[in-house]
Every structure is written in C-alpha cells, then in structure tokens.
Amino acid sequence: MEAAGCSYQFRIALLGDAGVGKTSLLRCYVTGAQGAAEPDPEPTVGVEFYSRALQLPAGLRVKLQLWDTAGQECFRCITRSFYRNMVGVLLVFDVTNRESFEHIQAWHQEVVSTQGPDKVVFLLVGHKCDLSTRCVSSQEAEELAASLGMGFMETSAKSNCNVDLAFNTVTSAIEQALQQGDI
C-alpha cells in the first residue's frame, strides 16, 4: 500500500535494552515474515527507520514511521533526539531477561521527561514469549503496565505471535487520542 493519500503520519519508536528483539519485531511487522528462517539480526547502530502504510478500521489511512533504536547505552544520546515528535512507543523487554524488564521504567521516564506525560501512547511489549526460559511473569508485566498507565501484550517475532496486533493496538490508540484531541 502506498503512502500517498494517507491522512496522517504517526511516528512510533521501539525502545528497550539491547538484544530484546526490537529489530526482529519490526522486520516481522513490516515484511510479514516470521523470524524462524532469519538469523539473528546485527545489533542496531543508532537508529534505523522503517515505514508502513495502514488502513485503519474507521477508513483512515495512516503512514507509520517506525524507528528501531539501539538499546546500548553508548547510543542513548543519539536515540534521545528521536523522541521528539513521537506519538507512540513500544517499550520492549525480553521475557527471558529480567534485567531488560527492570529497565522499562527508566526507558519510560526518559520519554516522559522529553515529551511530557500525555503526549505519547505507550504499549509494554513482552517479547520472545515462545521461549520456555521465562524470567518475567505475565502478571508481573501487567502490573507494571497498569502502574505506568499503559497496555501490555506478549509477542514473538519467531512465531509471529501478536506482532501485527501490537502495532495495530498502539496505532488505534494513537488514532483515538488524536480524535479526542489528546495528541
């Protein structure tokens, strides 16, 4: 679907620690290909950009600008500059990596301090839910999401579980916030 004729352009960033699967999620969403046949992607350096045009249920066409950010600390000064003008953020952690979950509040605070508390739609994403070596329970993640005022969803790029749903959920929430004048 071409971007021509789109009513809006939404900038959405994926934030989280290095290695949580942000690039795999984005590639799965943009190409529709499951990650099972794809080797682990190289770590993102700085920021990579993807886009996808989308027809929303209400008939509105939007272009999604999707920003894949590096999770390493050494790239934070670069990635922070991309927080401006974001209307959506997927905060991604690896359900098999407790430390990545524990850093979610810091990622959230970094965006809020740059954008303000009411300017961005957030979704907490527990990635790699297909793996059996889970260190973070769904209930614990749901509680964190609720405390930060956002939704929660588990995904797997490898099995293409809830990938489209995660992006569609945040896009629909952005559309709703826009219609209500919140953004």
Indicate the residue type of 162. N
Question: How far, CA to CA in Å, does 88 sit from each of 78, 130, 166?
Answer: 18, 25, 11
Within-domain flag for 45: yes
Q: What is the domain extent for residue 96? A: 8-179
Give the CATH number for residue 45: 3.40.50.300
Question: What is the rounded CA–CA span in Å between residue 11 and residue 66?
Answer: 6
17 is a domain residue: yes
> pLDDT of the chain along its 183 residues, tens only?
445 677 889 999 999 998 999 999 998 999 876 554 445 555 554 567 888 998 887 778 899 999 887 654 544 455 556 677 789 999 999 999 999 999 999 999 988 888 776 789 999 999 999 999 999 999 999 999 999 999 999 999 999 999 999 999 999 999 888 888 877
Inside any domain, residue 1: no
| Total domains present in the chain | 1
* Residue 3, in any domain of the structure: no
Note whether residue 103 is domain-resident: yes
